[in-house]
A and B are shown apart, each in its own frame.
Chain A
Amino acid sequence: MTAALRFDPIRLPPECERLRKEVRAFLADEIAAGTFDPHQPNREDTDAPEFSRRVGERGWLGMTWPKKYGGHERTFLERYVVTEEMRVANAPTRRFFVADRQSGPVLLKYAPEHVKMDILPRICRGEVCFAIGMSEPNSGSDLFAAKTKATKTDGGFLINGTKIWTSSAHIADYMIAIFRTSPPTKENRRHGLTQFLVKMKQPGIQVNPIGQITGQYEFNEVVFTDYFVPDDHMLGEIDGAWKQATSELAYERSGPERFLETYYVLTELVRAVGNNPDTRSAEGIGRLVAQLHTMRRMSVSVAGMLQAGKEPVVEASIVKDIGTVWEQQLPHRVRDLAAFVEENATNRETLENQLSFAIKTAPKLTIQGGTTEVLRGIIARGLGLR
């Protein structure tokens, strides 16, 4: 067989189901207290620092990290349950989500001990927000074309250049970014980039908001002018960021956030059609639910593999490819199915508002965090085609 793709069925253990109940109760309390409205994914300001701290207090940040850094040494499957419940409830996770999923694990692996001791416990308490500095005005999917320079100086590096499409940079306390420390070599065009931890909200960094077609301002242009980064904020090997980038992908690409982004329109459609749907609505809903269930089982399976210490990069890319295409199409399918919903359905206005937002959100889902084209290239490599 060419490609031994593995998606072994994982049954969530009992501790996950206990945890799920706790998370649901917590979110119900937050909704009752007015922290957020689960029916309103398109709120103006998705930053919720107090909510973030309360999530940290519950022990739901840095769940899989060592206790000495403030973590809780729980399983990837437990983290999975917390993530999916938050996502389905439309909880405001912006402030902590990137740090918990991606930046923390990078620091755990590559940061010096004193930096870990300083920052990781604060991530676990929900106090700090992270951004990721990858794309630049002329390098997006082609990550290794990045030009923003880190020039060696006394005790550190001076950064000059521009990052762009940087989500949350306007509220972030830190950014993990790649900068050019050497030119690429003839043999390896990926050579010469280095990963750094950058402290935001300092002189030398200017954050300019960029309006999105949804009406939100969640990404930014970040301009560095002679910004100083100390030596101990270099992460991993100098010029060797390319070796460090790939193993993160399985974490980043396979989570429930990769197919649940527009889930709310499906719930609202079910509400709108009522308990006795006609055949057309029933079939449409049945297919969507079957597709959703399948993706979730694939995604849980990848979480199980991560828990077992594997690096299922191809499987994770498949989950993101299928999942993001699905969540992109979902609002359009729901719009189709809602076409004959009774004018007087009680939630008609909610559904219409949600559809409008979800349809405007849809185009970004197959672009952010690795485009469909990049993912299919990775899958093709895994199949032995390139």
Chain B
Amino acid sequence: MAESENIVAETAEKIFADLADAQTINSDSDGGWKAPLWQALTEAGLPLAWVPDDLGGSGASLAEGFSVLSAAGRFAVAVPLAETMLAGWLLAQAKIASPEGEMTVAPASPRDRITLNADGTLSGRARGVPFAKVAKHIAVLAGGANGPSIALVDAAAVRIEAGLNLGGDASDTLTFANVAPIKIKPAPKGFDQTALMLMGGVARSLQIAGALESMLDISVRYSNERVAFEKKISKFQAVQHNLAKLAGESAAALAAATSAADAIANGTSFDDAFFLEAASAKIRCSEAAEKGAAIAHQVHGAIGFTVEHILHRYTLRALAWRDDFGSESYWAVELGKLVAARGADELWPLVASR
């Protein structure tokens, strides 16, 4: 990790540690912690990290922004930080300046489509859009007769049906009925919905990997405290091996997610090798979330199944994040098709391309 990534990541870590301590926010039922946290993140320039200075952001590198997302995952942060970063990044692709405040992106699923009508308005439906209910603006990728466009939309102009994901965070259905955007510009050449989904998927992969690091950490600590049958449960080989498997899943998620982030941060085009990196990250991190969350709960026993305990903050969010920007099943089908289309003898050259 470069020095500058460290500084940005440390800034984020410090804000989360001060204002988003899991135990504190878990017992705060009215969500009073959210406003101070968001303000601190905003003052540090993190929500618009990926927006260049001249478009209203703080102009951090892609790598620096990714390190913030890893930290956000480790704290299972329940404010639209990742979403606002993605929205700012999407708008910046078309050189649209970012407004202040919370944002989100639509569509958030590869199956949903927003269409740019001939009269310049937007139509369509997007399901499972994270934090739309609290967003002031929505960055939209819309298809049209002349290819994809990127638009900034006032959230108040869109019909929003509230929903919740597994982790209890807003995950809403948006209906665009001839919505006039605040600004709209053509997407750059080569940029399409797949690129947006891959970027969103990598963001979620980093968050899942971060949550798994925390699951491992608190599970190991708990096993070294909890006594059963007159010894710490960490001394039972069955428990040790379960935690070793959790470490393996956490490691796999970390490696897959950071590798994909590195590929984006240092890549130039959305080619097959990049597709392999980003799709694999979402697939493997989602698989790790399933296996890892199950072990973390098993180690904790009944206490981990309670609302009072912090474990669910990580396990349920990691499981929920699997669904955003294409599930592991979706990306597996797409990756499988790509591999098959390239043919058997081109599989290894693809895998060994970096």
Pair A322/B279 contact, Cβ less than 8 Å: no
Inter-chain contacts of A379 with B (CB < 8 A): 244, 247-248
Answer whether residue B332 sits at the interface, using C-beta atoms and an 8 A cutoff.
Answer: yes
Smallest CB separation, B106 vs chain A (Å):
26
Given A291-B284, A385-B234, the answer on whether A7 and B328 have CB atoms closer than 8 Å is no
Answer whether residue B14 sits at the interface, using C-beta atoms and an 8 A cutoff.
Answer: no
Given A385-B224, A385-B243, the answer on whether A84 and B352 have CB atoms closer than 8 Å is yes
Residue with the greatest number of chain A CB neighbours at <10 A, chosen from B280, B336, B345, B354: B336
Interface segment out of the listed B81-89, B149-157, B184-192, B254-262 = B254-262
Bound CA–CA A3/B235 (angstroms): 17
Interface string of A83-126 (1 = CB under 8 A from B): 01100100000000000000000000000000000000000000
Smallest CB separation, B126 vs chain A (Å):
24
**B244, B336, B341: which contacts A284 (Cβ < 8 A)?**
B336
Inter-chain contacts of B245 with A (CB < 8 A): 321, 376
State which size class the interface on B falls in: 35 or more
Bound CA–CA A85/B216 (angstroms): 35
Q: Using a CB-CB cutoff of 8 Å, which residues 9-48 of chain B contact chain A?
A: none
Smallest CB separation, B245 vs chain A (Å):
7
The prevalent SS among residues of A at the interface is: helix
Pair B220/A384 contact, Cβ less than 8 Å: yes
Pair B248/A289 contact, Cβ less than 8 Å: no
Inter-chain contacts of A315 with B (CB < 8 A): 251
Bound CA–CA A284/B354 (angstroms): 23
Smallest CB separation, A25 vs chain B (Å):
13
Answer whether residue B335 sits at the interface, using C-beta atoms and an 8 A cutoff.
Answer: yes
Pair A270/B354 contact, Cβ less than 8 Å: no
Pair A376/B252 contact, Cβ less than 8 Å: no
Pair B252/A290 contact, Cβ less than 8 Å: no
State which size class the interface on A falls in: 35 or more
Pair A283/B340 contact, Cβ less than 8 Å: no
Pair A5/B254 contact, Cβ less than 8 Å: yes
Closest to B335 in A: A286
Smallest CB separation, A98 vs chain B (Å):
24
Given A1-B213, A84-B352, A290-B284, the answer on whether A277 and B251 have CB atoms closer than 8 Å is no
Answer whether residue B162 sits at the interface, using C-beta atoms and an 8 A cutoff.
Answer: no
Q: Using a CB-CB cutoff of 8 Å, which residues 256-312 of chain B contact chain A?
A: 256, 258-259, 261-263, 266, 276-277, 279-281, 283-284, 287
Bound CA–CA A108/B16 (angstroms): 49
Pair A322/B252 contact, Cβ less than 8 Å: yes
Pair B259/A297 contact, Cβ less than 8 Å: yes
Inter-chain contacts of A293 with B (CB < 8 A): 256, 276-277, 280, 284, 351
Residue with the greatest number of chain A CB neighbours at <10 A, chosen from B276, B279, B339: B339
Answer whether residue A202 sits at the interface, using C-beta atoms and an 8 A cutoff.
Answer: no
Mark A residues whose CB is within 8 Å of B: 1-3, 5, 7-9, 11-12, 20, 84-85, 88, 266-268, 270-271, 273-277, 279, 281-287, 289-298, 301, 314-315, 318, 321-322, 373, 375-377, 379-380, 382-386
